Structure 1
Amino acid sequence: MAPEARHRPVFWTKAMLKRKTTIDGDLTVTRLIREAAERSMKISIAPTSDNNVETPFGSGQVFIQEVQPGLTCELHALHCHRDLEVECVIEPQIVCPMALEGQMDGMDIKGYGVVEHPLNQGTLFGIGEPITCVRRVRAGQYFKTFGISLKPAFFARFADSFDDEKLAVLEHFRIGLRVEALPLSQRLIALGHNAFNHAYSGGLATLYQESNALQFVMAIVQLLREEDRLVQQIGRPHFDRLMHARAILDQSLLAPPKTLDLARQVGTNITTLQANFKLAFSTTIFGYIKSQRLEMARVLLIEHKLAVAEAAYRVGFSSPSAFTASYRRHFGHPPSAEVV
């Protein structure tokens, strides 16, 4: 049976500027529908064995706010109690969600396919015309995500605040449908966690989220500009192989493949891979792995409050003293300085 026939349609009302959603506790289908209506979103819910719209399908924290006209930040930290399938229509905008913890199912875009959300890696969606997508959550699932969306009002307001070169990298995502997995960025990861971990409330909290969201946008812009620079230097085929190699390393930092095996996996030779890696990241492949492990350790120390010895072990150091020495060389201070 076609998906349209399996969903109950829900229509919407006019959106409210700077609408804010804050949920700390249970989330029901009724609440989901009401929030979608406030945001001019058209959604439909697939029938389940429990069609009681007041039965919570999840619990946790949800925060959504338009912090500036056209710029919205979204935070979700949810434990799911039952399966749920939601179909929605997304209007033209640029969206970048990032999964910070747990496991988040991919987004099924009609006419395109399923787009996965790797942990700690942003995915940039450029939506130039309305699309229909399906989101699914499963009983027992937990995920923590941060993301931003940029609607036309954002670009209209800030067109004079950015130079043309910076704007150009985002303008490419405003035509048609474009999906791009961003490289692993400790800056984006840190900003995502910052949105959850701050001590502000009221107006100060809004100002903080606005600043954090803008920094997230600019970090994305920086990544895209760096991509353009590298493509011009080494060409698209070599760039794609280089990004593939980095993605493999990012997913296997604790047990990376040998350089020869890595080169074979991406379809190039060791000399070319090493040269392009040095050009792109100003370090060797070994140096990149070590740097990313230390960046990971910093997140564990600051965000997860791990002890120094535990963080060292988690990122592959067998000796806490060797870890401390490497950490000091990389950041300019010992890891103990991160522990409050």
Structure 2
Amino acid sequence: MTLTFTQSDWNDLWESTTSATYGFDDFETLSSLPSRLGNGCSRAIDLAPGLFLSLTDWQCERDWVVQVAAHDHPIQLGVFLSGVLDAKGAHPTLGNGRAYFSGSGISPSYAEHWYGGQRMLVVNVELEPERLDQWLGEEQVQSITRSLLCKGQDWKASFYPKQTNAMRSLALQIWNPPYQGAARRMYLQAKVWELLAMQIDLLTADQAGNLSTPKLKPDTIARLHYAREILTQNLEHSPLLSEVARQVGVSERTLRRGFQVLFGLTPLEYLTRQRLHRAQELLQTGECTVTEVARTVGYAHLGHFADTFKRQFGITPGACVGRN
């Protein structure tokens, strides 16, 4: 049975079942995962004013969901060395080669899904936007921080970079620092800034993509929502994009570009995600076979369905059957 927590319930669970203790250094605390969920701990490391690092090492023994309310969000970077984290529509499944990089601003509410039977090894960095201002020149602050990474009271911008070998190598160095005490803290600061610099460099190199987000007219936004509804309602026999574009009254180019801008996904990525989430729901009921579910959500090739499902959720379709 999947446990579901509100944000308040989640906070209360941690406060009532874990006790934070200092780690090897006085700027670090350890918190144990509540035993009803699994075992392991998280290290919270205060690297500098406005710069925080956490290292999560959890062996999840059951499924749980945390309902996260809308909240103020710092600049954040997450690298997943093991395991996957699923927000079911708020963003793509994280892990399996996909990292998370977000600017500051307001985060919408979402449901965070953690799956049993997996080990989570996550390097997470949080940075207050004022701290970044101190490290960037005025010109860069205007072009990067103000326009992208610091949204104030607007919705934050999120990105899902591929976890390159260089990114993973840096994350592993952060996970296993060779020093203790003040030297360890200095080492971690340097590696965290290097990891952040790597992401900012990738974003600035992609000015024609993520950073230059075109404005969408209200009428176009409404048509794109209509297109998304059409795709959602036709998972088994999805229409061609040209047909969807014609039906909602936009060009196919506008449909592709607008979908990416508005929803952060291409139409195909969105359709794939919806198919897989529908498949997960059907499998969890235990009332259908894997083959029946694959056909229901539009996969004619069972092997392709199984491979795609495992990349998304970290488990095979068979392991998901009857798993509520």
Give the alignment's TM-score, normalised by structure 2.
Answer: 0.51
| Superposition pairs of residues 35-46 of structure 1, within 5 angstroms | none
Cα distance in 1 between the residues matched to 2:150 and 2:124: 18
Kindly state the Cα deviation for residue 163 of structure 1 after the two structures are TM-superposed.
4.9
| Alignment check: 8 A CA contact 2:37 2:62 kept | yes
Kindly state the Cα deviation for residue 107 of structure 1 after the two structures are TM-superposed.
2.6
| Superposition pairs of residues 316-335 of structure 1, within 5 angstroms | none
The correspondence for 2:30, drawn from 11, 18, 22, is 22
The correspondence for 1:198, drawn from 177, 196, 212, is 177
- Secondary structure of the structure 2 residue equivalent to 1:153: helix
Q: Is 1:143 aligned to residue 120 of structure 2?
A: yes
Q: Is 1:219 aligned to residue 198 of structure 2?
A: yes
Report how many residues are paired: 196
- Secondary structure of the structure 2 residue equivalent to 1:21: strand
Match of 2:9 in 1: 8
| Alignment check: 8 A CA contact 1:81 1:139 kept | yes
Cα distance in 2 between the residues matched to 1:192 and 1:198: 10
Q: Is 1:162 aligned to residue 143 of structure 2?
A: no
- Secondary structure of the structure 2 residue equivalent to 1:139: coil
Change (3 A) 1:231 1:138: closer
Q: Structure 2: which amino acid aligns with 1:128? A: G
| Alignment check: 8 A CA contact 1:166 1:225 kept | no
Q: Is 1:59 aligned to residue 36 of structure 2?
A: no
Kindly state the Cα deviation for residue 224 of structure 1 after the two structures are TM-superposed.
1.0
Change (3 A) 1:19 1:87: farther
Match of 1:94 in 2: 75
Change (3 A) 1:4 1:81: closer
Q: Structure 1: which amino acid aligns with 2:30? A: T
| Alignment check: 8 A CA contact 1:92 1:174 kept | no
Q: Is 1:173 aligned to residue 163 of structure 2?
A: no
| Alignment check: 8 A CA contact 2:79 2:100 kept | yes
Cα distance in 2 between the residues matched to 1:9 and 1:138: 16
Kindly state the Cα deviation for residue 218 of structure 1 after the two structures are TM-superposed.
0.8
| Alignment check: 8 A CA contact 1:125 1:178 kept | yes
Change (3 A) 1:116 1:9: closer
Cα distance in 2 between the residues matched to 1:93 and 1:183: 21
Q: Which 4+ residue blocks in structure 1 deviate beyond 4 angstroms?
A: 3-7, 9-13, 229-232
Give the alignment's TM-score, normalised by structure 1.
Answer: 0.49
The correspondence for 2:97, drawn from 107, 115, 120, is 120
- Secondary structure of the structure 2 residue equivalent to 1:219: helix
Kindly state the Cα deviation for residue 130 of structure 1 after the two structures are TM-superposed.
4.6
Match of 2:64 in 1: 84
Kindly state the Cα deviation for residue 201 of structure 1 after the two structures are TM-superposed.
1.7
Q: Is 1:104 aligned to residue 80 of structure 2?
A: no
Q: Structure 1: which amino acid aligns with 2:47? A: V
Cα distance in 2 between the residues matched to 1:121 and 1:5: 26
| Alignment check: 8 A CA contact 2:52 2:126 kept | yes
What RMSD over aligned residues (CA atoms) do the two structures have, in Å? 3.7
Q: Structure 2: which amino acid aligns with 1:169? A: I
Which structure has the higher relative contact order (CA within 8 Å, separation 6+)?
Answer: 2
Kindly state the Cα deviation for residue 19 of structure 1 after the two structures are TM-superposed.
6.4
Kindly state the Cα deviation for residue 217 of structure 1 after the two structures are TM-superposed.
1.0
Kindly state the Cα deviation for residue 9 of structure 1 after the two structures are TM-superposed.
7.4
Q: Structure 2: which amino acid aligns with 1:21? A: T
Change (3 A) 1:150 1:191: same
- Secondary structure of the structure 1 residue equivalent to 2:94: coil
**Structure 1, gaps ≥5 residues long:** 29-54, 236-266, 268-340
| Alignment check: 8 A CA contact 1:105 1:116 kept | yes
Change (3 A) 1:179 1:80: same
| Alignment check: 8 A CA contact 1:107 1:135 kept | yes
- Secondary structure of the structure 1 residue equivalent to 2:157: strand
| Alignment check: 8 A CA contact 1:166 1:221 kept | no
Q: Structure 2: which amino acid aligns with 1:154? A: R
| Alignment check: 8 A CA contact 1:187 1:219 kept | no
Cα distance in 1 between the residues matched to 2:57 and 2:41: 5
Deviations, residues 223-254 of structure 1 (Å, cap 9, x unaligned) = 1111127899xx9xxxxxxxxxxxxxxxxxxx
